[in-house]
Amino acid sequence: MSLHVLALGTLTADPQQRTSSGGKPYVTANLRAATDEEPVPVSVAAFLDSAKAALLALHKGDSVSVTGRSELTSRTGREGDSGKGRSLIADAVLSASAVSKKRDAAARRAGAYTDDLTTG
């Protein structure tokens, strides 16, 4: 059973661009999503151009919000420990750096508009 979720977390490695066996590019990323208990590992795959570009602009340690269809998964760690995680097909990706860039661009546009009013 899959759910549509919003996962908030920190990237545990740089996102990777890959190519499917059919020749289509996609991007994968791994993040640790915060919970009330211990963090949950989330494996993300992005196929939409906007989601791919947003992930590729990020690096290990960056905070990120990802929304999309998610399923519960079982995993085995490097030391042989087992646990639960989530896989998520990203519909949208948002990071704090993207918000800052949008805010700065809006402020520049507003400043240019204000300058036009005062000089015109």
Domains and CATH numbers, the chain: 3-119 (2.40.50.140)
Q: Reduced to 3 states, what is the DSSP secondary structure of residue 113?
A: helix
pLDDT at 46: 98
DSSP 13: S
Q: Distances from the Cα of 54 to the Cαs of 11, 36, 58, 63, 113, in angstroms?
A: 13, 27, 7, 12, 28
pLDDT digits (tens, 9 = 90+) for 24-66: 999 999 999 988 888 899 999 999 999 999 999 999 999 999 9
Residue 119, pLDDT above cutoff 70: no
CB 32 within 8 A of CB 40: yes
Residue 91, pLDDT above cutoff 60: yes
Q: Distances from the Cα of 108 to the Cαs of 15, 64, 87, 102, 115, in angstroms?
A: 30, 25, 38, 10, 10
pLDDT at 74: 86
